[in-house]
Structure 1
Amino acid sequence: MLDRQPVLEGEHILLRPLASDDWDALFAVASDPLIWAQHPAHDRWQEPVFRAFFDDALVNKGALVAIDRATDAVIGSSRFQGLDDAPKGGGGGSVEIGWTFLARSHWGGTYNHEMKRLMLAHALVSVAECRFLVGATNTRSRRALENIGARLTDRREERIMAGGVVVPHLTYVITREDFDQGPLAA
């Protein structure tokens, strides 16, 4: 069974379960409108919108806060959600990794790559596949997923965003085999 609230530590980043007292530090990061410019929830930088996102993360568990190990500063967050357990003895199953954002000061690959490597290595011990859903027009996130070895599938989903707007999402996957042979392999 996948532990969706682990503590994961890399060279540059520490991931730990999100707590209610992370609000101030995480909103300070999330309040940058440029982080959300290509995101389907482009208004998530606004306090009431981010509050709903934050509260949902706490309720659903699985959210991890990202901390820069060099400065101890909160730099973003990511989440495990939508766990589909494997049949008993089947070795399958999948989980979605997403809702990721990082401070712009930490864009450029190193931190996102390490965050995803830690999360994938943790999850793929328990599930056969990790899914990533991304807004079809979010080219920055799509490119970031492709850079870590995620494969675009033919699976599509429409998600209802704040205000009832329906946004088409694409599904990318990384399997155990993809991870072991891909750019994030240890």
Structure 2
Amino acid sequence: MFLAASDPRIWADHPASDRYERQVFEAYFASRLATGKALAVIDIDSGQIVGTSSYYTPPDLPESIAIGYTFLVRAKWGGDTNRELKRLMVEHAFKAYDTVYFHIAPSNIRSQKAAMKIGAVHLYDAELKLSTAPASCKCYGLTRAQWAASQQSA
């Protein structure tokens, strides 16, 4: 997993811009593993790990589900891998929840665009403690109806 995460450009627009450093990444990875809700993204052709994502409970919506803590190697940005990852995770979440949430750093325009591309809408901005310290987040929500509409137009 660290090999996939060791490219500094992956983290350039991320609040944890030093996550490509082994010690920083190991703390992040250990926290994701401890949740029991993290997924490895594996390239089906090469068998190599190309990223990760996770489900988590939003601190301001404790009866809900969110998808985040996602990263992919740059070769997988903007293509089928991210789309398929989100499709699988969103459809699984909709088996138990009516809305899926995404919390994105204000500076992470690429992830905001990706959330909107799958039909999510910006709901509000908040200061949330998603890791060690509170941070500003743009909070997006995706309902089943929004998801269905985005799939029809895709």
TM-score exceeds 0.5: yes
Q: Does 1:131 find its partner at 2:101? A: yes
Matched residues, number: 151
The runs of at least 4 consecutive aligned structure 1 residues that moved more than 3 Å come to 158-162, 183-186
| Higher relative strand content | 1
Q: 1:180 aligns with which of 141, 148, 151?
A: 148
Distance 1:141 1:156 in 2: 17
Could you tell me which amino acid in structure 1 is paired with residue 144 of structure 2? R
Question: Partner letter of residue 4 of structure 2?
Answer: V
> Alpha carbons of 1:83 and 1:123: their partners in 2 closer, same or farther (altered >3 Å)?
farther
Give the share of equivalent positions with the same residue, in percent: 36
Conserved 8 A contact 2:102-2:139: yes
Matched, 1:156 2:131: no
Q: Aligned in 2, Cα 1:83/1:137: closer, same or farther, shift over 3 Å?
A: closer
The equivalent position to 2:50 in structure 1, one of 75, 78, 84, is 75
RMSD (Å), alpha carbons: 2.1
Contact 2:125 / 2:136 at 8 angstroms: preserved in 1?
no
C-alpha distance after superposition, 1:39-58 (max 9, x if no partner):
01101111111001111011
| TM-score, normalising length: structure 1 | 0.75
Change over 3 Å in CA distance of 1:185–1:127 after alignment to 2? farther
Q: Which runs of 5+ in 1 are unaligned?
A: 1-25, 85-92
Letter of the 1:29 counterpart: A
Residue 37 (str. 1) matches residue 9 (str. 2)? no
Unaligned runs of 5+ in 2: none
TM-score (ref. length: structure 2): 0.89
Residue in structure 2 matching 1:102, options 55, 72, 79: 72
Q: Tell me, what secondary structure is at the counterpart of 1:29? A: helix
